[in-house]
Amino acid sequence: MLGTHRDHNLGDLSISRRGFLGGSLKAAGISALPYMKADRSEAADRSRAKTNSNSHAHPLDPLTGQEIALAIQILRKERQIGDSFRFVSITLAEPPRSAIRKYRPGQPFQRQAFLVLMDVAKGAGHEAMVDLNLRTVLRLDPLPQGLQPAIMLDEFGKCEEAVKRSAEFLGALKKRGVTDVNLVMVEPWSAGYYGTEVAEDRGRRLMRALCFVRSEPSDNGYARPLDGVVAVVDLHKMEVIRVEDYGVVPLPPESGNWARQYLPKARQGSKPLKIVQPEGPSFTVKGREVSWQQWKFRVGFTPREGLVLHMVTYHDNDAERPVLERAAVCEMVVPYGDPGEQYYRKNAFDIGEYGIGTLANSLALEQDCIGTVRYFDAPMVDGRGRVVTIKDAICLHEEDFGMLWKHTDWRTNQSELRRSRRLAVSFVATVGNYEYGFYWYFYQDGTIQCEVKLTGIMNTTALKPGQRPEFGVEIAPQLNAPFHEHIFAARLDMSVDGPQNSVYEVNTVSLPRGPSNPHGNAFRAEATLLATEQEARRSVNASSARFWQVVNPNRKNRLGQPVSYRLISGENCPPFVQPDAAVMRRAGFALHHLWVTPYNPEERYAAGDYPNQNPGTDGLPRWTAANRSIENAELVLWYVFAHNHVPRPEDWPVMPVASLGFMLRPDGFFMRNPALDLPAPGLSQEKRQQKHPHRA
């Protein structure tokens, strides 16, 4: 590691290093976890936004800590919102595209903050819009009845405390021989909406807590699920409304530790493997704009989605050719396949219900990212309206990626190879037991890749001695990991060589034998236009090697073909729950792998704005019912991709990464292989040797 640049982007904020969640967790007998490392700004209320003080500032930059503090200050002053208001999230209200297109560096630009709030006294969610330039509240509206904002990070800690205070819960522990409540891990899960809610649950903001027991404070509690106990918690009153008890199952006998103090003998034989970049990285960063090779893009971040890419362009023949306006993984759902009464509601929407950006880790050098690394911080708000900054939440670095292209002319013996390198921009979120790493890669041949890495600890249940699981795999004695899927939705605002695009589906078909196929060998790729939203509800098909093509019908290459990018699916599978199962009302986006909509800035999240406890159908199924035209229009591609997790004993106690994702690859976008111009490996070293022949 030779250099580290940190973009703290904090201006005049003074920062004190204190754990954000540390307080509530310590009260619960748990010390702050490393991924919760964050800073709290005590000076935030005093600070003032300086939106244009940075010469690289841009209208799409995420809100800074100062701007978040200012938005809160303006709202509190102008609307006298009381102590009963909690802050769920504050996000940049992205200016209209027309304004972005007209914007030139140095010009003044709109800065508006979009807030989601919760009045816990009235049990009512609110939305607000604050103009930071005009220093005024543009609107503060209650959410329609029945809509619940996402769960706040501090609600998790408070929920755990409430469960541990409950006499009924302590009774359930006693029944199971658990005497030390401090060793109990309470895992609040979103309650969802199933139509089976009992009368006392209606209209409440709820979580359902599943519990685990540690044998000592640093033990892995997931080894010992406290099966059959579900504490239902009212988050407004912060009290347990009932404890559901489905019967005692003994704790599994084995521990399952992964922390280093439990692993005394490390494997030998790994000699240092160094990534050395003696001349620094090949990327440059100005504000939030990254340039690397021919690529240019802006790094955004929202508390809900985490990493967001804006304005992705490729520099080609003196032109900045756009590919993507905006890209993010905007929703996900993890349906579990166990129909048990205590388990059928396990279906976390980790983005829409929890805000996966708020769960981002502070990344560690030489661990998460190797080489010459540039970090970006992620400032956000906590429930009480304080600015917290997750330091080093986003990591930017280059990686060697083996062979990009090669050929040996065996007659002349000329051999040429170019090594591939990629630029990785990533963040990692810890969602309770699980880790999700979100990686976007840029390659020198014009390819963009999105990869999600799954790791962490599987959610477990207990088995009675001798019991074989029906809906999971026994991964350690008497320990079951249920079958489940991880389903992600990426929102891709396309702009392939300009804003107006169309989408084709390409299937490779075998031709039947006949006069035009006398030898039976004929097959060809056939492209079909997807002209409307309902035509574009599609799924992957391995038997026709299906892919989709986003073309710009207004731009032709020299061969007369419209320029395009392909969307190439990676691992994928359908949802295995029934299409009419309750979870699919909220996760209707998972019914298809591809959706295409005409661009509408209001249509942001695949399951709608407020999936938490939402009884209705929102998001993609609702919008695409209109069956709007998507031909030669500003388009949004929604790609849904799923990992079917059939657990293995090797996934325990901590799971080696499973990864999935997709690629966008140029198809007729360039004249030929755009990476022909890469220098041969070692060339720059040779040049240096010519300059300094005395050097070894």
Residue ranges in contact with Cu ion by CB under 5 A: 645
**Residue with smallest beta-carbon separation from Cu ion:** 645
Calpha distance 592→541 (Å, rounded)? 12
Bridge-based pairing state of the strands 523-530 and 500-510? antiparallel
577 Cβ contact list (under 8 Å, min separation 6): 335, 337, 583, 584
Of 129 and 658, which CB lies nearer to Cu ion in the complex structure? 658
Of 115 and 452, which CB lies nearer to Cu ion in the complex structure? 452
* Least distance to Cu ion, CB of residue 655, Å: 7
144 in helix, strand or coil?
coil
Of 391 and 486, which CB lies nearer to Cu ion in the complex structure? 486
494: enclosing H helix or E strand:
strand 484-494
466 in helix, strand or coil?
coil
Calpha distance 564→397 (Å, rounded)? 28
* Least distance to Cu ion, CB of residue 576, Å: 13
Of 111 and 484, which CB lies nearer to Cu ion in the complex structure? 484
CA distances from 694 to 106, 373, 688 (A): 48, 32, 10
Q: Per the structure block, which two tokens stand in for 683?
A: 């060339």
CA distances from 339 to 219, 293, 336, 483, 576 (A): 29, 51, 8, 11, 13
Of 386 and 645, which CB lies nearer to Cu ion in the complex structure? 645
* Least distance to Cu ion, CB of residue 484, Å: 6
Strand residue runs (E) in 132-183: 136-142
Bridge-based pairing state of the strands 373-381 and 387-409? antiparallel
308: enclosing H helix or E strand:
strand 306-316
507: enclosing H helix or E strand:
strand 500-510
| Residues classed as catalytic | 350, 434
Q: Could you tell me which residues are beta bridge partners of residue 414? A: 409
CA distances from 408 to 321, 412, 414, 419 (A): 33, 8, 6, 15
Calpha distance 367→189 (Å, rounded)? 30
582 in Cβ contact with 620 (< 8 Å): no
DSSP 385-411: S-EEEEEEEEEEEEEEEEEEEEEEETT
368 in Cβ contact with 395 (< 8 Å): yes
- The total number of residues shown for the chain amounts to 696
Q: Per the structure block, which two tokens stand in for 507?
A: 């299937």
* Least distance to Cu ion, CB of residue 69, Å: 38
